[in-house]
Structure 1
Amino acid sequence: YRSFLKYKLPEIEEKYNNGNFISTDGKILGKHKGFPFYTIGQRKGLEIAVGEPLYVNKIVPETNTIVLGNKADLMSKEMVVSKCNFVKYAQIPDGKELMAKVRYKDKGTKCKVFNVNGNLKIEFSELVSAITPGQSAVIYENNDLVAGGFIE
């Protein structure tokens, strides 16, 4: 991925080099090679060691900062989905129990869906790892596609 970005955007490495890796409590842990080269949940290739495995928990493009934390910090029970396309229902009834997928090959997780300010608030029945802003979320009822949109 890094080589593809550098091929397509030769200036990218120089433009975003030397951002900070910080801990979830705000301590600077080291420098990174630019936020575009990392993804939420990434562990490999961070080139930083602090005595425990660290994962990319959050990417802050505005400050070229990457927040690192442990695996538990990646877990969440909710998300907001925007720019929704509705397929099965014109509007999903609040509290409807459905299944949401947050990545390719995701088995899906049971959830309740709520309409909030033109977006969907998804409350999962169990913790989900590495919910990534900007990625697609897809909502199903059994095998029927209900809606899809983008994770906020």
Structure 2
Amino acid sequence: RIRDTAHFDLPGAFGGGLAIRALPRMQLSVDVIRRFWSQSDFSTATGDGNGSFTHLNDTTRFGIGITRLGDPEETVRDALGRRARWRAGFTYGTLPVSGNGETVSEWALTGGVGLPIQFDRGFIDGLIEFGKRGDAATTGLSESYLRIGFGATFQTLRSAF
């Protein structure tokens, strides 16, 4: 049995985004992020670096999304679907690993809904994402995935007393 301790620096990153309210109930968002994986350090207590982590590539990810916002004239009595926030998006980027000397890329289509918890209090969020990483023909690596997630977003929290 062999034991070792490893040290790995997370990469520095630089990114930005922009959201524009295209119509009263539609918001368009774009973002980009660059991660500097090639500057990350991986080492073990024995001094041996793991070959799969010593030649990482810098990555770039682009994303675009659209959100249908709830009706600005909404009331508590309006239908839930009218007050919900519906989302759709697409993302494309590269991974820090290579396959057969080629950069491995990934893409994903996303969709989601934010259902109001209580009028002007926040949302219960659900998402579904389908994506693909790599291309078996060029990189020798390929993975398709389906991700389902849930979360909560809180907005104005007013004191009840």
TMscore range, shorter length: under 0.3
Higher helix share: 1
TM-score, reference length from structure 2 = 0.20
Instruction: Choose between structure 1 and 2 for higher RCO, CA contacts under 8 A separated by at least 6 residues.
Output: 1
Structure having the higher Rg: 2
Higher strand share: 2
TM-score, reference length from structure 1 = 0.21
